[in-house]
């Protein structure tokens, strides 16, 4: 079925590619559902827009397959001879790693695309003024609000529970002394709210609400190293997924990255570097460094 090409979606896609290219960032450009919050975009529509922009030479792109490598049954929606393009079976799928939708191995705006983006920036699509907005995040944004938005979560209580779980696993790979040093820097309010259940400092999220679990975490040595004796990246993410009950509209990597990003905003550079050394090598440490 043909799709209608929407100016607001095109604008977001072109601007994100331009920002990525201007910053000379390395790796893949990830598009996620949070990039299009409030626009009512479907997976098929996003794919159609990307295919249209590529075929009409507004962008010069090479699409990757699923970054998680576990959705081999996903059909290719464009000519495989023209571009290597597979996408994770996401956005509403029970078995898909939400909210990631597609990643570019590389992408740049063509001269034609740059010209169109310049025109759109001078006269932004009116559709962007309608519907729900993604809050603008900065260092003053409350901690849990950052986790909620960056994690693609719909509930602030999910943001709280996930933050506590991520913090618990982080403490498990650290010494008690290092965990205490982190806690000492987490004294900003977690959320500006009248709800008593959410009136806390970020340091309160760092402490386990279960006193027995909290005590055990202080007594045992850091669980650093390969599983099962230690906690590697795979076990770290699995524990977050299982213990936090990550919603279907999110995934462990996304919410861990959201918590990491919000946490780093609260910490000194010295502490950020120290935490990185304690986190498992591989994916989890990469998420911390990229957050």
User: Quick one: pLDDT at residue 286?
Assistant: 94
Q: Specify the fold of 7-129.
A: Arc Repressor Mutant, subunit A (1.10.10)
CB 127 within 8 A of CB 238: no
What would the pLDDT profile of 86-142 be if each residue is shown by its tens digit?
333 333 333 333 344 555 566 788 999 899 888 888 887 766 655 444 555 666 678
Residue 24 is predicted with a pLDDT of 57
What are the extents of the domains in the chain? 7-129, 143-290
Is residue 131 within 8 Å of 40, Cβ to Cβ? Answer: yes
State the DSSP H helix or E strand holding residue 62, giving kind and residue range, or none if neither.
Answer: strand 59-63
State the pLDDT at residue 139. Answer: 63
Q: Cis peptide before 99, with omega less than 30 degrees from 0?
A: yes
Q: What is the per-residue pLDDT for 1?
A: 46
- Collect the ranges in the chain with pLDDT lower than 50: 1, 65-100, 131-133
In 10 A of CB 248, how many CB atoms? 11
Residue 228 preceded by cis peptide, ω within 30: yes
Closest CA to 41 of 87, 7, 77: 7
Tokens 């957050």 locate to 291
The helix-helix angle for 252-264 and 233-244 (nearest 10°) equals: 100
> What crossing angle do the helices spanning 283-290 and 233-244 adopt, rounded to 10°?
80
**DSSP assignment of 125-151:** -GGGGSS--PPPP-TTS-HHHHHHHHT
**CATH number 1.10.1760.20 is the correct assignment for the domain at 143-290:** no
Question: Do 77 and 63 touch, CB atoms closer than 8 A?
Answer: no
In angstroms, the CA 219 to CA 237 distance is: 23
The model's pTM: 0.56
- Using alpha carbons only, what angle is made at residue 231 by residues 288 and 219, rounded to the nearest 5 degrees? 105
pLDDT of residue 279: 96
- Do the beta carbons of residue 62 and residue 17 sit within 8 Å? no
Plot region of 38 (φ>0 → left; ψ -120 to 50 → alpha; else → beta): left
Q: How far apart are CA 77 and CA 39, in angstroms?
A: 22
Using only the alpha carbons of the chain, give its radius of gyration. Answer: 21
Task: Return the pLDDT at 240.
Answer: 94
In this predicted structure, what is the pLDDT of residue 28? 59
SS3 at position 75: coil
> pLDDT, tens digit, for every residue of 71-88?
333 333 333 333 333 333
């Amino acid at each position: 079925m043909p799709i209608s090409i929407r100016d607001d979606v095109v604008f977001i896609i072109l601007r994100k590619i331009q920002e990525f290219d201007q910053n000379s960032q390395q790796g893949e450009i990830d598009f996620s559902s949070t990039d299009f919050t409030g626009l009512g975009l479907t997976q098929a529509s996003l794919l159609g827009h990307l295919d249209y922009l590529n075929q009409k030479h507004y962008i010069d792109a090479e699409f990757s397959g699923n970054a998680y490598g576990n959705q081999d049954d996903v059909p290719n929606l464009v000519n495989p001879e023209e571009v290597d393009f597979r996408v994770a079976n996401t956005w509403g799928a029970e078995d898909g790693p939400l909210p990631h939708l597609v990643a570019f191995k590389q992408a740049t705006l063509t001269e034609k695309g740059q010209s169109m983006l310049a025109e759109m920036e001078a006269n932004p699509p009116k559709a962007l003024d309608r519907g729900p907005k993604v809050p603008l995040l900065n260092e003053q944004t409350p901690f849990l609000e950052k986790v909620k938005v960056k994690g693609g979560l719909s509930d602030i209580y999910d943001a709280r529970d996930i933050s506590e779980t991520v913090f618990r696993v982080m403490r498990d790979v650290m010494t008690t002394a290092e965990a205490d040093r982190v806690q000492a820097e987490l004294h900003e309010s977690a959320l500006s709210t009248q709800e008593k259940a959410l009136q806390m400092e970020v340091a309160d999220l760092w402490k386990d609400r279960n006193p027995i679990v909290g005590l055990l975490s202080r007594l045992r040595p850091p669980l650093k190293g390969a599983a099962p004796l230690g906690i590697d990246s795979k076990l770290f993410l699995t524990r977050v997924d299982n213990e936090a009950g990550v919603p279907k509209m999110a995934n462990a990597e996304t919410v861990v990255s959201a918590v990491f990003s919000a946490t780093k905003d609260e910490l000194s550079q010295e502490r950020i570097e120290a935490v990185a050394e304690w986190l498992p090598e591989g994916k989890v440490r990469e998420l911390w460094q990229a957050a």
